[in-house]
Amino acid sequence: QALKENYSGKQYTSARLRTLNQGDWKYGRVEVRAKLPAGTGTWPAIWMLPTDWVYGGWPNSGEIDIMEHVGYEPGAIHGTVHTQAYNHTNGTQVGAVTGVPDFDTNYHVYALEWTPLQIRVYVDNNHYFTFNNQNQGWQTWPFDQRFHLILNIAIGGDWGGAQGVDDSIFPVKMYIDYVRVYQNSASAPTINMLNPAPGTNFQPGETIQIDVESNDTDGTVQKVELFQGEAKIGQDDVSPYEFSIDNAYSGCYELKAVATDNDGYVTATDPVGITVGSGCGKSPYGIQPEPIPGIIEMENYDMGGAGVSYNDNDVANQGNAFRVGEGVDIEVASDIGSGYNIGFIESGEWVEYLVDVEYSGSHSVISRVASETGGGSFVIEMDGEVVAGPIT
C-alpha cells in the first residue's frame, strides 16, 4: 500500500515487492492476478528488470513492463519494453495500451509470455502487445538473460505525477491474489560446422562450400543461418544444411552458423576462421563483392580498417549497435525492423564498398537518407570518380 506520511523528508511512502536472487527467470509465462488502486498520482506496476545487468545499466540490459497504470488515465493499461535502441529517453520506446474499465473494482490477470523469439503481453488472456526479436544484437534484444519480478505502487514521479497527486485518496492499495511463473522444459538445438575446418585457405574466386549439422532432441530445427562476422549471408531451412559462396574475394573471414528450433531456442557454433588468398587486407564484409544491380546495406562496408575502408572523425562507434569494435557510427534504425543505419555523420567521413557491376550501361542510384537539420550533402564515387552528387 501507499500512505501520505512524512518520511526522510518525503511526503509519501509506498511498498515494493521483488524477487531478486529469490526468483530469477529466463523465458516462460508470468501471471499476476491483481486489483489496482485508483486516483490521480498513483502509478502501480508489475514489471521485470535484469538480475545480472550483463549489457550495462538501464536501458541497455532491458526492462519488461507487464502492467503499468497511471491514475489520471483510469483504465488504460500499458505494456512496454525498454532496450538500448528502444526507450523513452530517446523517444523510441515500444509498447501498447488496452482498456480495463473496472481495474480498481475487480481482479484481472496481467500476464507475460516470453520466448527467445518474442515477448507477448496479455490482460485476461487478451493478447494486446507483441515485441519480436529482430536478431540485431543486445541493443534491440537484451532479453536473453535472467530477469526478476517487481510489484510496486509508485506515487508521483515523472509519469505518475504528471498531473499532480490527489492527497484525498490515501491510503491506496494494490491487491495481489496470486503470482505464478511457468517455464518451458524444452532444450536448445545442437549445431556443428562440419566444414570448412578452422584455418582453411581458399584461392580467390574459388567456391566455398559450408556444411552444417544440427539436431533438436525435443522438437525440430526451423532454420540454420550462416554469418560472416555479424552479417547474415545465408539461410537453409532443410537438412542437410549446405551453403555455397561463389567468387570469394581475398581476405580473412569468420564464419558462424546459428540454429533456431520450433520453441525459439538458439544455438551458435564458435567462429571458424578462414582465409582467401594470402592476406587480410581490404575485403568485402560478406566475402563476395556487393552485386550491382542490388541493394547495398550501409553497415556492410568493407573490412580493412580506418583509412583503408572508412574514415570516421572519432575512434568510437557512437551508435554502438553493429561492428562495435570499428569507428563507423552504426545505430539501429528508428523504424522497427528496418535494420541499421550509419549515423552521427560529420563532414569528411566516408565508407567504401567493393562491388561487382554485372553489366555496362546506365544505372540509377536510390539512397535512403534522413537528417534532423538541413544543409548537408554527400557524393557517390566509383573508382575515385564522382558519379552522383552532391546530393542534398
Q: Is 10 exposed, middle or buried (0-12, 13-18, 19+ CB in 10 A)?
A: exposed
What mean pLDDT is reported for the chain? 92
Residues spanned by CATH 2.60.120.200 within the chain? 2-182
Residue 198: is its pLDDT beyond 90?
yes
Catalytic residue status for 63: yes
- Which of the following CATH numbers is that of domain 2-182: 3.40.50.300, 3.40.630.30, 2.60.120.200, 3.90.1150.10? 2.60.120.200
CA dist., res. 7 & res. 29, Å (int): 37
pLDDT band at 337 (very low <50, low <70, confident <90, very high): low
Q: Which of 80-94, 235-249, 365-379 has the highest mean pLDDT?
A: 235-249
Active-site residue (options: 5, 31, 68, 225):
68
Q: How far apart are CA 132 and CA 332, in angstroms?
A: 15
The full 3-state SS of 229-268, as one line of letters, equals CCEEEEEECCCCEEEEECCCCCEEEEEEEEEEECCCCEEE
SS3 286: coil
What are the backbone angles phi and psi of residue 357, rounded to the nearest 5°? Answer: -80, 120
- pLDDT per residue as tens digits for the range 203-226: 999 999 999 999 999 999 999 999
Other C-beta atoms within 10 Å of 367: how many? 11
Q: Is the separation of the CB atoms in 221 and 237 below 8 Å?
A: no
Find the helix or strand (DSSP H, E) in which 300 lies. none
Q: CATH classification of 190-276, choosing from 2.60.40.10, 3.30.70.100, 3.40.190.10, 3.40.1000.10?
A: 2.60.40.10
User: Which of 295-320 are b and which e, b meaning 16 or more Cβ less than 10 Å from the residue's Cβ?
Assistant: eeebbbbbbbeeeebbebeeeebebb
Q: What percent of the chain has pLDDT over 90?
A: 72
Whether 152 contacts 37, CB under 8 Å: no
Q: Clarify whether 297 is annotated catalytic.
A: no
Which 3 state secondary structure label does DSSP give 46?
A: strand
Each residue's pLDDT tens digit, 102-140: 999 999 999 999 998 899 999 999 999 999 988 778 999
Annotated catalytic residue within 5, 31, 63, 358: 63
Cα–Cα distance, 291 to 259 (Å, whole number): 27
Residues in the chain: 392
Return the pLDDT at 41. 96
> Which of 266, 222, 228 lies closest to 241 in space, CA to CA?
222
Could you tell me where in the chain the CATH 2.60.40.10 domains are found? 190-276
